[in-house]
Structure 1
């Protein structure tokens, strides 16, 4: 990027070559809604034809600004303001969604980053939203012991209508399928497990799940000696959000329509590039080889 072009936009440029940074002074400072501090300067890292906000904390991580979309300093300021207001909108919207799930939204007064805490059966998670409103797991512990966190896995919060569906979906990322710890947890909750074969036997195949009822499922598998867990949470109607996770974290996560779903074993076999015969269902009552 030509430094002269950046200066024409009112930017103070420093660095050289491919390591340029620039500072833009705002005519109309940005208001921090939870702090009296106003943002009157924005620092960018120049990446090709984009300006990436890096400071102060209130704007770090805002969507990059395409230089081709701005012709002067006024247009650049409008882009910065729009990106900042877009983030505030996401914070408000996601906060309301967290409350609807019975979770407590927390907004850092300096960075304006939205986060929340989720705890269930010894598993404690910290969820953090990015500037575009996508959530990720920032940290996880089980019984006080830190767990490895998938570095890039994000999810859409609005797909979960009930807290239990969200917790079940996230727990599949961290649940161990083998080992003494997993066996102990399985024994602790075994009496509360309900198999769908038992539901069908009790209520018959004609029973239905109402359109707005929550529904989540969990299937434990083993592929070539390695444990996996498949989890699905109903989004609405016949739409589900699915997740396949192994010992190293997420393998696959997508929405799917029930009518198009091939079945757990064919799905896992296709994703892992193995034969269906290599996929084994595990757990009490499941066929094993």
Structure 2
């Protein structure tokens, strides 16, 4: 496409581009639908057996895709995602489109085989890794074992296992390998051993104190996970997401002996839907805007009533104030037996969900809006003087936290006792006696 054509396409409304793409894909017998953002066309292609995995050679049954512009598909799952954008508008039959995809994957497989051949030329035992879509080899020396991954673009050292020591991931800034520079495996081994100090990432900053019992601890990502740090390293921190791109972020935590997973799925723009999932289902779920989101670990800690352990401040820096760990003045502290209330305003009441936002002491909306199932909302919120409110009863006050129970519309305790930071309580609730 020429620069002029690209400019013209950029001026066509998205709805019109979707109409053009949908009409063409329907003619090819490929069904599409609007995604959750109500802008992106998405669908799934079923294959007849020609499309095979570039590393294993096994046939692929189907592939999920999104439509780019009016004439291209982009597959969202590996290994098809490695193809990039595929033009569908130039094909008259779905079999022709499938054949073009198969050829693109075959070219990718050939490129990986070429990388593996260059590894074998150095007498390395190379094989294709089907999950990471890379040629993989291990270089063993007397002191270390080095995992080498070769993709279409570069060959890199990914992991180092010292003999008798703890394996570690190679620092992102370590440069790729140019295999042609090494005349023999011995030359490569000497280079790798001497470069071990540069492969190690800088040590993490020392915390001011050990993690207290009962704190939320983030677990490291899996070895082959694609992290935000890796994306920023390759594309830079100024790279932007396409307005309609689907994004789902995942981070795992340990709280006591319980593993939890935080998932944030992009709905549209900077609006996400977050979920904290435990062994028995959702612990917390809400929609939020990025600018109002305090951070994953803080949200997880608040949802669990756990201490939020911040990294140690730089030497000489003043201590941070506010937040969940801030000390509450004694005259604002709750007392056992008291009933506290959160007043909210309903922004949108649908058939299935209710969107609401809390109010400050003056009755004005405050903070990010939240969404509950209508049945859950009506079970715990009661209507009062044109507004809605949530009642809780304080059972205990201990070490900056409160143990409380929610009250139903008949003011009866419901569910198990929960724990909350006293600072969070004071920021979002007021004593019932002061709510009138």
TM normalised by structure 2 equals 0.33
The structure in which a higher percent of residues are helix is 1
Task: From the CA coordinates, give the structure whose radius of gyration is larger.
Answer: 2
Considering Cα pairs closer than 8 Å and 6+ residues apart, tell me whether 1 or 2 has the greater RCO.
1
